[in-house]
Amino acid sequence: MATTTATADPALNKEYQQDTAVQDHAVEHGTNGATNQRYYGGNPLAHTTTTESARLPAFGGEFQPGLYRPNDHRKFANPAPLGLSAFALTTFVLSLINIQARNVSETNIMISLAFGYGGFVQLCAGMWEVAVGNTFGATALSSYGGFWISFAIILTPSFNIAAGYSPKDAATGKLTGHGVNDFNNAMGFFLLGWWIFTTILLICTLRSTVAFFMLFFTLDIAFLLLAIGHLQADAAGKGNLACQKAGGYFGLFAALLAWYNALAGIADSSNSFFVIPVAHFPWSVKGREERTVIKSERDTV
């Protein structure tokens, strides 16, 4: 992402360039060559912030769900697409396993992804969000990076997390006693905690874009269903397969939406032939602004 400038110098800041050959998505070109400054168009994550854009609305290039003040003289790239991509790929693979695609049900492959990409890389992206002054992005990306690292620890055999919960019959090696579902219950508590956290983030996206809101909504439902799947395990210690698969499908939706939002942050006029639509809620700041502009144009006509 381009660095910010203290003044709106047309030679330095793409936000104010008049040349349509390098048109920025944050500028709306009107009639007779006039331009109307917009907060952002269909590519919200690619918007370049300036001191003249004193208050920008949701997701304006900073992984933000609401109005915020941009940092002046920022020399950091936008870390949001990296964090979203790390979250998307890791969630995508786990969700395919949860729905048992091609009869794959073992989660061993997730250890590498959860430690490396979804964990470490996403945690780094969250820390870089701290550097650019984005509280929401730092909280979300760092937390989900921590989620994947902790999930990888649970899956790693050497930690013996699951084996430490329920007793096994010495002869058969199978789980025995009323504690057969101790691990399932504990895993359900673990996922319920992440459902509560995701719900908190979801509330903060209600005045954002549809694409941003739907990412957290589908993820929220996925956590809830997966938690129920563990808490509703049968007497043999087997989780509720229907809830597990349903959670997996919602996880797939969340992964695809995370990639979609990441694309909106990467694509701009320098590398894309089209604008990535994100859709604004009618009650959002941008939605109200657009309705005001339309009403003003109708009154003028």
Token pair for residue 245?
Answer: 């698969």
Top mean pLDDT of 69-73, 170-174, 197-201, 288-292 is at 197-201
Task: Identify residue 107 by its one-letter amino acid code.
Answer: T
The pTM of this model reads 0.76
Backbone angles phi, psi at 97, to 5 degrees: -70, -40
> What is the reported pLDDT for 4?
41
Give the tens place of pLDDT for each residue, 178-225: 678 999 999 999 999 999 999 999 999 998 889 999 999 999 999 999
- Helix, strand, coil shares of the chain, percent, nearest 5, are 55, 5, 40
For the chain, give every domain's residue range. 79-266
pLDDT digits (tens, 9 = 90+) for 248-271: 999 999 999 999 999 998 988 888
Among 48, 74, 50, smallest CA distance to 60 is for 48
237 has pLDDT over 50: yes
Confidence at residue 30, expressed as pLDDT on a 0 to 100 scale: 46
- Is residue 289 a contact partner of residue 55, using CB atoms and an 8 Å limit? no
Q: What is the pLDDT of residues 68-80, one digit of tens each?
A: 555 555 577 889 9
Is 117's pLDDT higher than 50? Answer: yes
Beta strand spans in the chain (E): 27-29, 35-37
40 vs 84, more confident: 84
Distances (CA, A) of 148 to 65, 129, 292: 23, 18, 43
pLDDT value of position 159: 93
Write out the two tokens for 178: 């009323």
Regarding predicted confidence, which is higher, 60 or 288?
288
Q: Read off the pLDDT of residues 12-69 as tens digits, 9 standing for 90 and up.
A: 333 333 344 444 444 444 445 444 444 434 444 443 344 444 455 554 445 777 665 5
> How far, in Å, are 6, 140, 242 from residue 71 at the CA level?
10, 19, 47
Here the tokens at position 229 are 């799947």
Tracing tokens 């439902």 back to the chain, one arrives at 221
Q: How far from each other are the two terminal CA atoms of the chain, in whole angstroms?
A: 39
Axis crossing angle, helix 210-231 with helix 182-203, rounded to the nearest 10 = 160
Average pLDDT, the chain: 79
User: Which residues, in sequence order, are bridge partners of residue 68?
Assistant: 56
